[in-house]
């Protein structure tokens, strides 16, 4: 979607290696989110940010860390990738409470 | 935390018929209820939303209703078309930060 880009779009990595996914926005929105999407589970929140250097955990945060050093960038890191982290990862941005999200196009991550 | 349940998980309708998807939420403090449409290989896209001070909202062929007492809300699509085929997600949130909790999704297939 315009205003939000995710990179890479696809990645295959080996178990035990660190992986970083990037979300970049040009909308100057305060809130940014990382979700994972798996069959049968819908969209589950991993971590979110409510400002530069302000982040908090979501419902499935184990094994993930995030950083936000600039308004426009929100990084998701898998410290040591496992096969259970094979998923499609979506970043989203929002102006705040009572506003909908704009989602990126997703990153398909495969851990082998 | 909030729990959102969505039914049915799959829905097949004939072109021109109506489709209805229902969601229930658990937290009575939730006050914002968006609906997203996800096409294959893309991120979810906001199609309509409703706030707790409104009982119904329409946008062309799409309408959403909210029953706060029963804690459920529904998406209605009239005069369905093949391009309505997609996965639809409901969600709920409350307050600042706007962390959305998503339902499990409904795969809608419109048969020509």
Cross-chain residue pair A43–B43, CB shorter than 8 Å? no
Angle at B7 between CA A97 and CA A34, to 5 degrees: 40
The answer to whether A88 faces chain B, any CB pair under 8 Å, is no
Band (pLDDT 50/70/90 cuts) for residue A2 is low
Q: What is the mean pLDDT of chain B?
A: 93
Over range B97-105, report the average pLDDT.
86
Neighbours of B75 (CB within 10 A): 25
Over range A3-23, report the average pLDDT.
97
Round to whole Å and give the CA distance between A98 and A93.
13
Q: Which of A38, A43, A58 to mutate to probe the B interface, most B CBs <10 Å?
A: A43
How far CA B46 is from CA of A14, A99, B35, B105, in Å, comes to 34, 10, 6, 14
Band (pLDDT 50/70/90 cuts) for residue A41 is confident
Round to whole Å and give the CA distance between B24 and A20.
35
Q: Which two tokens stand for residue B52?
A: 């707790």
Over range A77-101, report the average pLDDT.
91
Instruction: Quick: pLDDT tens for B59-75.
Output: 999 999 999 999 999 99
Closest CA in chain B for residue A48: B99
* Helix, strand, coil percentages, rounded to 5, for chain B: 5, 55, 40
Q: Give the model's pLDDT for residue B1.
A: 81
- Model confidence at B9: pLDDT above 70: yes
């Amino acid at each position: 979607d315009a205003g939000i880009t995710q990179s890479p779009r696809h990645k295959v990595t080996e178990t035990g290696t660190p992986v970083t996914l990037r979300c970049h926005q040009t909308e100057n929105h305060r809130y940014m989110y990382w979700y994972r999407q798996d069959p049968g589970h819908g969209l589950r929140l991993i971590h979110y940010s409510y400002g530069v250097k302000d982040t908090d955990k979501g419902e499935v945060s184990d094994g993930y860390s995030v950083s936000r050093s600039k308004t426009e960038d929100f990084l998701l890191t898998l410290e040591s990738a496992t096969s259970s982290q094979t998923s499609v990862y979506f970043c989203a941005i929002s102006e705040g409470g009572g506003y909908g999200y704009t989602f990126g196009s997703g990153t398909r991550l495969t851990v082998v | 935390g909030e729990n959102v349940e969505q039914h049915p998980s799959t829905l097949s309708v004939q072109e021109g018929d109506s489709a209805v998807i229902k969601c229930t939420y658990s937290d009575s403090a939730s006050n914002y209820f968006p609906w997203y449409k996800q096409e294959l290989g893309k991120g979810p896209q906001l199609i309509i939303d409703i706030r707790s001070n409104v009982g119904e909202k329409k946008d062309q062929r799409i309408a959403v209703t909210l029953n706060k007492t029963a804690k459920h809300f529904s998406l209605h699509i009239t005069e369905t078309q093949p391009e309505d085929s997609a996965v639809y997600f409901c969600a709920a949130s409350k307050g600042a930060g706007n962390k959305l909790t998503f339902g499990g999704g409904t795969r809608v297939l419109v048969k020509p």
